[in-house]
Structure 1
Amino acid sequence: MRRRTDVMKTPLLVMAAALLSLSLVSLCPAAPAAEEAALAPAAAAEAVKATDNGSPGSGEPDGEEGPVIADPFGPTNRLMFELNDSLYFRLFEPVTRAYARIPEDIRIVVSNIYDNLNAPGRALNNLMQLRLKGAGNELLRFLLNSFVGVGGMGDAARDAFGIKKQEADFGQTLGRYGIDHGFYLVWPVLGPSSLRDSVGLVGDRFMYPLTYVSSSDLTFWQAAGLYAHEKVNDTSFKPGDYESFKEAAIDPYVSMRDAFVQNRKKKVDESKQ
């Protein structure tokens, strides 16, 4: 009976892992993203904000020379880009479209819960970046939303006290102290990154509360499934962004790379302010 259960779990777990392609595949330089549109851990989706004033084909602001990054694994990265693109259209987009039928109010509650779980990591990274006000705000947001917001279901810190979220991640923290990108990478399923930000992803996992839940209570695959669900929920607020991005881009691979690098530079610059 145990073997049968494990076999039945396998395709579901593979599907859950494949859904992670959302986080860094959903780019749309042609369409601004709303501040409230649940974009938290989606590095590529965040690049939307950094490229609103630039050319969709280049990902660079008009009249400015954009940041550059070494791409020594270009052929392999392109292959991974095509893989993620295929996963998006064959799996992720249909799943997200169906999921978006859930009432928006429910999806907002889900987004708030996941966002609250990421607050300790944001607080620690703000502290390491010497942004003490941001660190204090994130700690206060976590406490208020956990208790007043009933486990993070509501954003009481923002709605009742006007305390806004202060985004911060470990890749940004490393950049704050002068560590360069290294080189560009496209991970299968996870999407665009760099050597520095790949290390940053690992660091961020150590700051995520569910990382420390006993393995007997939460398996690796269950944690991956939760992460996949978070990304599906986030993307349900912004349907069609990736399709618009591809239509506007001359070379989608180059546009995504440029948008990612420009966005990460913007985040690092913000950490120094």
Structure 2
Amino acid sequence: MTVFPPPSRGPPPLDGPAHRSHQKVRISLRLLLLAALCLASCSASRAPEGINDPFEGMNRRFHAFNAGLDQKVVKPATSGMGGSKAAPGEGRGIGGTMLQGVGNFGANISLPGKVVNHLLQGKPEPAIKNTFRFLVNTTLGFGGVLDPAGKDFALPEQGTDFGETLAVWGVPEGPYLELPLVGPTTTRDGLGKVVDIAIDPMRQWLNRDQYLIGMATRVASKVSQRAQYGDAVDSVLHDSADSYTQTRLIYLQHRRHKLGQEEEAIDPYAD
């Protein structure tokens, strides 16, 4: 008679969905803590006011790449969808309307990450508004393709990111950067983009394929903005005498204004 060994009563397998989800959370929290410690360590030496661009040579090469990519790929792909005078979803044809819907969907799935950042900043009110916006658009807006929260419930998106969270925590701006495909940023905001991906709650709720589809729709959302503000983008990237200094100036002034950092106007040609 064959005697079978008793079943093992050891610990449960470590490759189940629950374990993988908990592992992702732990990794995200470690990245968050590492980013905060690394940047907070240099918070005592804030960057000088004005433009801090020690990597200008490298930045200009990446800017030339981004401008060329826009000229040869992005701009032709969005032509005919309406310029800066067209309201979202109007005057763009079927393709533009579809692109707007994809952009809405991408913006909608980014809301949980914005809720997390508002809470990390100690701002419960915008976190609550973004939560309700997400729930309304996900249910009544067919997963976020439509925007009833903004049109019918007066719940516009409360934008934020982890770069802003770091600024609230007192982390300095750091040098200006322009990265391939990403575009203008700073060392603080660039690291913030990485952490935003790591702490995004959608990473825990969706499988890999679903999450990649969601990321693709966020890219499409940016393309939709390129179509909406095409005239303004063209005037900066392709019509100005020095598109790099103009891009740098606009980004830094807009970012600092958004963070509530009042300062004197920057002369892009001062150096």
The bucket for the TM-score relative to the shorter chain is 0.5 to 0.7
Name the structure 1 match of 2:181: 189
Name the structure 1 match of 2:197: 205
Q: CA deviation at 1:76?
A: 0.9
Larger radius of gyration: 2
Q: Does 1:121 align with 2:121?
A: no
Contact 1:158/1:164 (8 A) holds in 2? yes
Please give the per-residue CA displacement for 1:225-266, whole angstroms capped at 9, x wherever unaligned: 444333223322222222212466442211211211111111
Name the structure 2 match of 1:102: 94
Please give the per-residue CA displacement for 1:60-96, whole angstroms capped at 9, x wherever unaligned: xxxxxx9523211111111111111111111111112
TM (normalized to structure 1)?
0.66
Q: CA deviation at 1:219?
A: 8.2
Give, in whole Å, the separation in 2 of the partners of 1:115 and 1:263: 20
Give, in whole Å, the separation in 2 of the partners of 1:251 and 1:82: 11
What is the aligned counterpart of 1:90 among 72, 93, 105? 72
The equivalences for 1:154-233 within 5 A come to 154-212=146-204, 213-215=206-208, 217=209, 225-233=216-224
Contact 1:174/1:200 (8 A) holds in 2? yes
Kindly tell me: are residues 231 and 164 of structure 1, through their superposed partners in 2, closer, same or farther at Cα, counting changes over 3 Å?
Answer: closer
How many residues end up aligned between the 2 structures? Answer: 203
Q: Does 1:78 align with 2:60?
A: yes
Kindly tell me: are residues 210 and 120 of structure 1, through their superposed partners in 2, closer, same or farther at Cα, counting changes over 3 Å?
Answer: closer
Helix, strand or coil for the counterpart of 2:143?
Answer: coil
Please give the per-residue CA displacement for 1:116-138, whole angstroms capped at 9, x wherever unaligned: 11111121112222221101000
Helix, strand or coil for the counterpart of 1:166?
Answer: coil
Give, in whole Å, the separation in 1 of the partners of 2:141 and 2:94: 22
Give, in whole Å, the separation in 1 of the partners of 2:221 and 2:171: 29
- Calculate percent identity across the aligned residue pairs: 29
Q: Does 1:138 align with 2:130?
A: yes
What is the aligned counterpart of 1:69 among 44, 47, 51? 51
Helix, strand or coil for the counterpart of 2:53?
Answer: coil
Contact 1:169/1:204 (8 A) holds in 2? yes
Kindly tell me: are residues 252 and 69 of structure 1, through their superposed partners in 2, closer, same or farther at Cα, counting changes over 3 Å?
Answer: same
5+ residue gaps in structure 1?
1-65
Name the structure 2 match of 1:238: 229
Q: CA deviation at 1:224?
A: 5.9
Helix, strand or coil for the counterpart of 1:105?
Answer: helix
Kindly tell me: are residues 223 and 152 of structure 1, through their superposed partners in 2, closer, same or farther at Cα, counting changes over 3 Å?
Answer: closer
Q: CA deviation at 1:158?
A: 2.0
TM (normalized to structure 2)?
0.66
CA RMSD after TM alignment? 2.5
Q: CA deviation at 1:209?
A: 5.0
Give, in whole Å, the separation in 1 of the partners of 2:107 and 2:210: 19
